[in-house]
Every structure is written in structure tokens, then in C-alpha cells.
């Protein structure tokens, strides 16, 4: 697989051009391109440039409204509600965070519910933004159904990630947890299917509920829940917060995030921002640092999110990220550029 090094600025320009050429408004394309750059910088290639052809396709066919303008309301003193209007989740999240961060500082805790949105990308990048602002950030996002309940064979909930990020007291992030209700993100199984590679045992189940190493069989069946019924429980919690509590579409009723079938998925997100420094009487930073030290004092142990931070440092030092040449060519063609 041939790789191509590309600078952050050139990557952003490329993604913006592809999205605008597909029908997205310029400011929406810029937000999405920034997210792709941040995702590639963090080393999460499965959610970065690889998603851009799907984004472009979905804008062109109307599965996501590239012209949508999100709306924000404050129905209760510490509660914000954003309607993404069938557009990308990222502009609605950005609009919501502009109000959520100062509101959480004022109230001590504040929540943001987002409805009628689309794939939120790497959820942990959003909660890390809250942590960088000095707040404990918790996020939930639902997805089209792909996990069957324990003992069943028909998917009812999505991979439904949740994310948790803690500030380091210096304008950065101490640790960042980002995990789905499934053993692995569905995008990883899709990646293996595209590349014609088998998946490791335990990633997915076939339509008959039996384990499979065939990525395509897994995609026609069910993602394996992490920890069996415990993963299903986590997925249900996320579904009730991100979809039910936000007024978004349940995963069982949402169209897929991949492919042309169905209209806008109109899924949702839910974020909590907490001023833990105040609730702890000023002790949160010390307690969090103590816990982090107890973890990293053990040889071979790293804090959640450390791998992404290492990737960021490596890519920033190089000034570039490496992307698949074939993928670059496909996005360049969408942008009307020369590969």
C-alpha cells in the first residue's frame, strides 16, 4: 500500500475543496476539514481522510445537508439543545460548545443535547476540547443499529461510543477515554472488508449470531458487544442519552452512516461539561494527578489517550501525516484537483 506524505494545511485545503465541490457550504467544509486534520494528526486514520469520500457522496445525494445551519436553544438554565437540521454534527457541536463552556463555568455543570445530526467522527476529540477548556468532558453519540442484544441476533443499538476527558490544569488533557459499546469500531470492520482482509476472532457475529472472521459476513450480521451483556448495557445507556434524551432518531430507525440507502440518519449526541475543580473544593487536579501517577508508575502502563498524544507529537514534529495514495487520489478527484 503506497503512502503519501501531506502537510496539515494541504490536507485541509484538499478536504475543503472536495466537500465544497460536492455541495457543502464553505464554512461547513472548513469545520469538517479541520476535524479530518485533527483526526489524522491523532493517528486515527480509520475516521480521517478515509471518511471523506462517504461525506462527499452523502452531501451529493442529500443524506447529509451540506448547507444546513444548526440552531441553538437554552430551554433550561444549564441545558442547551442544538438542532443540526440534518447537517453534519461538527458545526452543531462547535456552536453548542461556544455556549456550553462558559455556561458550565458559570453553573458548575451544564449539558448540551444535539438532535438531527450525522456521524460525529472521533467523539474523544470533542470531549478533549472541553478538557482543554478546564472542564471534565463526557460525551455520548448514537449510531445506526449494528449490535444485537445478548442472546439475540437482530441489531437494536449502534456501536454507540462514549468519551471522557480530564483537564491537566495547564490547558491540556490529562487523560482521554474513548470507547464504543462494541469490541471494535464498525469502521475497522468496514476497512478490512474494503481491503479484502479477514477480521480477528471476536470482532463480529454473522446473521446467525455465530462468531465470524469474514468482514462482509460480520457487516451483514452484528458487531460483537464489548464484554457481552455489559457492552449492550453501555450501548443502551448511550442510546437513551444521545438519542432519546436529545430527541434524535433511535439507531433502529436511523439510516446507515455508509452507503447511499435511506435519507438523513438524524442521530444525536449528548455532552456534559463539569467544573470539577469547584465541586471538589479545589482538590480535583491533585487527585487526578495522583491517580495518573499511580497508573504510569507501573512499567508498560500508559494513560488512556497517550497513544493519540504521541501520534500528535510525531506528526507535528514532521509537519506532515501519511495517507494512502489511492485514497488521496480519490479525494483529489472529488476536489477536481490533480493527484
Catalytic center residues: 46-47, 188
DSSP-based three-state secondary structure for 204: strand
CA distance 260 to 277: 46
Contact 183, 160 (CB under 8 A): no
Alpha helices by DSSP H, the chain:
8-22, 26-41, 52-61, 89-107, 123-132, 186-194, 215-219, 229-239, 276-279, 284-296, 306-318, 325-335
Measured over the CA atoms of residue 99, residue 100, residue 105 and residue 107, the dihedral's sign is: positive
Contact criterion met (CB below 8 Å) for 206 and 193: no
Cα–Cα distance for residue pair 204/213, rounded to 1 Å: 7
Say how far apart CA 204 and CA 208 lie, in whole Å.
11
Rounded distance between C-alpha atoms, residue 123 and residue 304, angstroms: 14
Beta bridge partners of 141: 269
Amino acid at each position: 500500500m503506497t503512502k503519501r506524505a501531506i502537510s496539515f494545511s494541504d490536507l485541509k485545503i484538499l478536504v475543503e475543496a472536495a466537500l465544497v465541490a460536492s455541495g457543502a457550504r464553505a464554512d461547513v467544509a472548513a469545520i469538517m476539514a479541520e476535524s479530518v486534520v485533527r483526526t489524522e494528526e491523532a493517528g486515527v486514520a480509520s475516521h480521517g481522510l478515509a471518511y471523506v469520500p462517504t461525506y462527499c457522496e452523502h452531501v451529493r445525494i442529500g443524506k447529509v445537508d451540506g448547507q444546513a445551519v444548526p440552531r441553538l436553544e437554552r430551554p433550561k438554565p444549564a441545558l442547551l439543545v442544538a438542532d443540526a437540521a440534518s447537517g453534519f454534527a461538527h458545526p452543531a457541536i462547535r456552536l453548542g460548545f461556544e455556549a456550553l463552556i462558559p455556561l458550565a463555568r458559570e453553573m458548575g455543570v451544564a449539558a448540551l443535547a444535539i438532535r438531527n445530526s450525522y456521524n460525529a467522527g472521533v467523539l474523544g476529540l470533542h470531549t478533549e476540547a472541553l478538557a482543554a477548556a478546564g472542564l471534565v468532558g463526557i460525551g455520548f453519540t448514537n449510531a445506526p443499529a449494528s449490535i444485537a442484544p445478548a442472546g439475540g441476533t437482530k441489531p437494536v443499538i449502534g456501536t454507540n461510543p462514549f468519551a471522557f476527558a480530564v483537564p491537566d490544569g495547564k490547558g491540556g488533557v490529562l487523560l482521554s477515554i474513548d470507547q464504543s459499546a462494541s469490541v471494535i469500531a464498525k469502521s475497522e470492520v468496514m476497512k478490512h472488508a474494503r481491503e479484502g482482509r479477514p477480521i480477528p476472532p471476536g470482532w463480529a457475529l454473522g446473521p446467525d449470531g455465530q462468531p465470524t472472521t469474514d468482514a462482509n459476513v460480520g457487516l451483514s450480521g452484528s458487531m460483537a458487544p464489548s464484554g457481552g451483556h455489559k457492552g449492550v448495557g453501555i450501548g443502551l445507556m448511550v442510546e437513551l442519552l444521545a438519542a432519546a434524551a436529545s430527541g434524535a432518531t433511535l439507531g433502529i430507525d436511523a439510516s446507515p452512516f455508509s452507503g447511499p440507502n435511506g435519507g438523513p440518519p438524524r442521530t444525536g449526541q449528548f455532552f456534559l461539561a463539569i467544573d470539577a475543580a469547584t465541586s471538589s473544593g479545589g482538590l480535583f487536579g491533585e487527585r487526578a494527578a495522583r491517580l495518573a501517577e499511580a497508573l504510569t508508575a507501573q512499567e508498560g502502563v500508559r494513560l488512556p489517550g497517550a497513544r493519540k498524544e504521541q501520534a500528535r507529537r510525531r506528526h507535528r514534529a514532521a509537519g506532515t501525516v501519511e495517507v494512502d495514495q489511492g485514497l488521496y487520489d480519490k479525494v483529489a478527484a472529488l476536489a477536481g484537483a490533480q493527484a
